[in-house]
Structure 1
């Protein structure tokens, strides 16, 4: 039991790291989550939230340093919520992420620790993000873009984000300078006007820019100057005037200049991206992950990908099956994916819009599904999707996960039908606590 300092403060020692990169210690058997505290470090903390099953603390004074602690390269690390692991040696980050996957699969699926392979490191430890989505605020009469302070809705203005591609950062600063030159205002929920968010994507020397605004007209002079930025091939406005909306984009788009698609190379594939399309933020690592996933699948007749987005994985697997069907719930992404199939002369690859579980059942009534690839959101596979997999019973399932906990729970639900053949974690986002994992499941004989 940890020593109590007073009613306001206590000493706690971190025993391990949590899924958000926070230190986890214990008081009277209750877990206490403390940001910026590494395993083995003891700190005097203030309890800022106490619940029946857990508590949260804030460091007043760190009493010792872990030998794995390093000075963060970023001056606002710890205040910004973006890179909680920048204080941890890179090799230790990889080990920590492997342990997160191991513990989740032990806890939920009873999988042996040794089944999880070492984490595949990212080719780029910094400068790997090809997109930013930064809220805009007004400070001292100037517009600033930045990231949210940990645990708040306050914006920390960012001079330079080290995990953004350097070209993306240069463009962000140039655009923010122009927005201030034309004296634009930040979003005002009372009038539902002004700038809300700056969204930028940079790939292969070309930029895509979206200004998310309220009910505002953008000055023609601003648009003309933005059009002159070298490499800017797509300039869009998204009008999202609903002050209660938690969605980044509304359905109201306005093309201000250029094309509404951004061409991008992914391995041997040529893809076109709409502004709203999801694309992996760390492209070099995404290529490694997709290539590994492809190498695990045996050639077959019919392959189905659930949650297929703009089709990158399905098209990367185009040589693995005679027929490939991707399922995605967002029509715009489906349209984008079918464009990409045509672009890559993949006539045997097609994409349909609908619920993944229902569409997979429909497909299975017409043909036998040999392999399934799933790349679900952090919530994992829902009950309907698990049931659909149990009914279709493909010989192989490749599960690409971004959440070890939901991965473990889903494997547990499939264990009686499938054997876990391999577990390969990937460090898609260095300096954060996120880890992607490929799992190959093979149907029991």
Structure 2
């Protein structure tokens, strides 16, 4: 942009045509080349927008009315879609969401990674893109004189009170409403982020979709839970199959959901679930993919990319509770998993035992520290699989992977932007890819997972 003033002013009303969608699902209109980002608008639509924020090189607007609607616009079935920050794309058809996510990956590869020549396959989507989440993690607060529980409004910590969420398994909704009503009936106070007072901070619900086992986690600001026995009774009366009710204590003034101390109020300390033929032991703070159906699709793609014959040594970085590791172990000679969280490694070991898998070993540590030491001891993996958090991989980790000189790196990503950045870095180390396979793990949202095979070039 030039040094001239923006062509719009705050509170001005303008007529615009939307050309594109951003990575977070906002419509993009341009006024004399100046981008204006507007939530809930779709490409091809024209309408009236009120400018609500003006920056030097871009601005934000609020949609007032539409003159021409996109044929891919649909009526969001959720009554709180306009206020809740959980979903961004309920107003876009399933076909439109699939194209958007495929394009999101293509755009990131070209714009961030400079890789116009890498093919992006059409996204692998769900037949029924609703009620897929096996985990609800819901903050509790106090508004207008009563306890509320729901998801945060977008870019805020204001809770939008919720009776049901259409991307949650319906049993999660029933359990959440039961706990919320019981807390009101028993005078359990809600936590206040500003004062640090109040008891109930979060309600977390986990549902084993293959096993039917259910866990309720009450995150509290202190150890004393009034009328806990009555609360447990209400939970069991509302929903069958609740095999674990636990309390997690978090007294820190922080946005982190869980504290370090967890104890069982009723039932078991963990639940089990199955993906394909593999059973998983899931403790309250374990990372476990929230869409069980699409997790099988994702891991099948990772297994296909690894192309294992049974003779390979495989290294799984960010192995968590061993979900990908145990899939790989079915086809590999041996899998070594690395994870920084000790509890997750304990769960991974339990999961290997649970499935009678003896060719998978798990280690606590930072991968960028462990891998150079293993290399000095003669370890030479044929395949490295990496499934990092949204921030992607640090350069030290990418360097450590490349230094081990595997024939293949299988990168599983939940963020196309950091995937593109890391692919470009690994290309400089001699690892290149022909194609990326997106998988829609999170319908109705802007998130998309990807699997990519990077092979060492001569």
Task: Indicate the TM-score class for this superposition, using the shorter chain for normalisation.
Answer: over 0.9
Instruction: Tell me which residue corresponds to 1:439.
Output: 452
Instruction: Tell me which residue corresponds to 2:139.
Output: 135
Decide whether aligned partners of structure 1 residues 220 and 197 sit closer, same or farther in structure 2, where only a CA change above 3 A counts: closer
Contact kept in structure 1, 2:215 and 2:245, CA below 8 Å: yes
Three-state SS of the structure 1 residue aligned to 2:434 is strand
TM-superposed deviation, 1:114:
6.5
Instruction: Tell me which residue corresponds to 1:221.
Output: 229
Unaligned runs of 5+ in 2: none
Residue among 119, 124, 128 paired with 1:120? 124
Matching of residue 201 in structure 1 with residue 206 in structure 2: yes
Matching of residue 239 in structure 1 with residue 257 in structure 2: no
Over residues 61-108 of structure 1, what are the superposed CA-to-partner deviations in whole Å (9 max), with x where a residue is unaligned?
A: 333211111111111112111121110110110001000000111122
CA separation in 2, counterparts of 1:291 and 1:220?
A: 43
Matching of residue 212 in structure 1 with residue 223 in structure 2: no
Contact kept in structure 1, 2:438 and 2:448, CA below 8 Å: yes
CA separation in 2, counterparts of 1:391 and 1:216?
A: 48
Matching of residue 166 in structure 1 with residue 170 in structure 2: yes
TM-superposed deviation, 1:331:
0.8
Residue among 272, 275, 297 paired with 2:284? 275
Decide whether aligned partners of structure 1 residues 196 and 6 sit closer, same or farther in structure 2, where only a CA change above 3 A counts: closer
| Range moving further from structure 2, 228-237 or 345-354 | 228-237
- Per the normalisation by structure 2, the TM-score is 0.92
TM-superposed deviation, 1:45:
2.4
TM-superposed deviation, 1:427:
0.7
Equivalences for 1:281-320 in 2 at 5 Å? 281-299=290-308, 300-320=311-331
Instruction: Tell me which residue corresponds to 2:64.
Output: 60
Instruction: Tell me which residue corresponds to 1:422.
Output: 435
TM-superposed deviation, 1:275:
0.4
Over residues 364-394 of structure 1, what are the superposed CA-to-partner deviations in whole Å (9 max), with x where a residue is unaligned?
A: 2221111000111111111111111221121
Unaligned runs of 5+ in 1: none
Contact kept in structure 1, 2:203 and 2:217, CA below 8 Å: yes
Equivalences for 1:36-435 in 2 at 5 Å? 36-112=40-116, 115-188=119-192, 190=195, 192-203=197-208, 204-218=211-225, 219-226=227-234, 228-229=236-237, 230-242=240-252, 244-299=253-308, 300-366=311-377, 367-416=379-428, 417-435=430-448
CA separation in 1, counterparts of 2:151 and 2:59?
A: 25
Three-state SS of the structure 2 residue aligned to 1:387 is helix
- Per the normalisation by structure 1, the TM-score is 0.95
TM-superposed deviation, 1:434:
0.6
Decide whether aligned partners of structure 1 residues 117 and 188 sit closer, same or farther in structure 2, where only a CA change above 3 A counts: closer
| Range moving further from structure 2, 227-236 or 71-80 | 227-236
| Range moving further from structure 2, 285-294 or 351-360 | 351-360
Which aligned segments of 4 or more residues in structure 1 are displaced greater than 6 angstroms?
none
Give the length in aligned residue pairs: 444
CA separation in 2, counterparts of 1:391 and 1:14?
A: 46
For the aligned residues, what is the CA RMSD? Answer: 2.0
Three-state SS of the structure 1 residue aligned to 2:15 is strand
Contact kept in structure 1, 2:14 and 2:50, CA below 8 Å: yes
Decide whether aligned partners of structure 1 residues 61 and 151 sit closer, same or farther in structure 2, where only a CA change above 3 A counts: farther
